[in-house]
Amino acid sequence: MKRVFITGASAGIGLATAKLLAERGDEVWGTSRDIARVPQLPRLHAVRLDLSENISLGESFQRALREAGHFDVVINNAGSGHFGPGEHLSAEAVQAQFQTVFFAHVELCRLALASMRIHGSGRIINVTSLASRLPVPFMAAYNAAKAAMASFVMSLQLELAGSDIRVIDLQPADICTSFNDAVARTDSGDPRYTGLVEHAWRVVEKNMQAAPQPDLVARGIAKLIDATNPPARVTIGGTFQAAVAPFILRFLPQRTLIWGLKKYYQLPN
């Protein structure tokens, strides 16, 4: 039995993972801004947590930690997105995106590491995104924040060499969740982008609807928790996005990669 802390446990990947782990016998502390959305299940403890502010985030984590005694696993999963032209992103919009996708997760990594150092071991799974390597058009701030988190994780992997604390970068490809329902969309009123944004959004939505269910990622996370020697980075999703595209990514020059991504999202070259 593991003691697990997971953010974003009220929907999508977080909900599927919290339910799977609780059902198999782990004790799970799952967070949400609205704890009424966390299902009432045996071994699933709802925690109110908001990624928008690090101080209250830390207080929520410490309350859950006191209740649990220690966490064997911390899963940084929660996040949000923005869809619109990078050219018109305000500094405030970029900062808000980085707060929920990067800064809050960095703070949770710090808190998790402090507690795991005392306990002597632990596992931190950071749910970043394949978008950190294969950007989604019109999600520049999200792509950049996920890439920053992936880089931060890799830095921790270097620095924690020799310890019994493992940090893993889990990069889902498109997964069929309600994530897009909460994405803030804007074309900033620029007629040069209106058609492109709408067209790209339709492609993104189509890809999302055809993508695997979040249970696939939940099962992958369970394997990472149980593995004696888990990989440093894992990509989970449909065959093309999760296996073929990352393989091609290793060999293509960026010019060709951008051409291929434009084709994939049906954007003009």
Q: Which range (124-138, 172-186, 249-263) has the least confidence?
A: 172-186
Domain 3-264 has CATH 3.40.50.720: yes
Q: What are the pLDDT digits (tens) for 195-236?
A: 888 888 899 889 888 888 999 999 999 999 999 999 999 999
Q: What is the pLDDT of residue 105?
A: 96
DSSP the chain: --EEEES-TTSHHHHHHHHHHHHTT-EEEEEESSGGGS---TTEEEEE--TT-HHHHHHHHHHHHHHHS--SEEEE-----EES-GGG--HHHHHHHHIIIIIHHHHHHHHHHHHHHHHT-EEEEEE--GGGTSPPTT-HHHHHHHHHHHHHHHHHHHHTTTSSEEEEEEEE----SSGGGG-EE--TT-HHHHHHHHHHHHHHHHHHHHSPPTHHHHHHHHHHHH-SS--SEEEESSHIIIIIHHHHHTTS-HHHHHHHHHHHTT---
Kindly state the average pLDDT of the residues 152-161.
Answer: 96
Q: Which residues contact 121 (CB under 8 A, 6 or more apart)?
A: 72, 164, 165
The encoded tokens of residue 161 equal 């060499």
pLDDT digits (tens, 9 = 90+) for 114-147: 999 998 999 999 999 999 998 999 999 999 999 9
- The residues spanned by each domain of the chain are 3-264
The answer to whether 112 touches 164, Cβ cutoff 8 Å, is no
Question: What value does the mean pLDDT take over residues 147-153?
Answer: 97
Q: What are phi and psi of 169, to 5 degrees?
A: -100, 105
CA atoms within 13 Å, Cβ hemisphere of 85: 14
Over residues 87-106, the pLDDT tens digits come to 999 999 999 999 999 999 99
Mean pLDDT of 186-194: 80
Q: Lowest-confidence range among 164-168, 223-227, 238-242?
A: 238-242
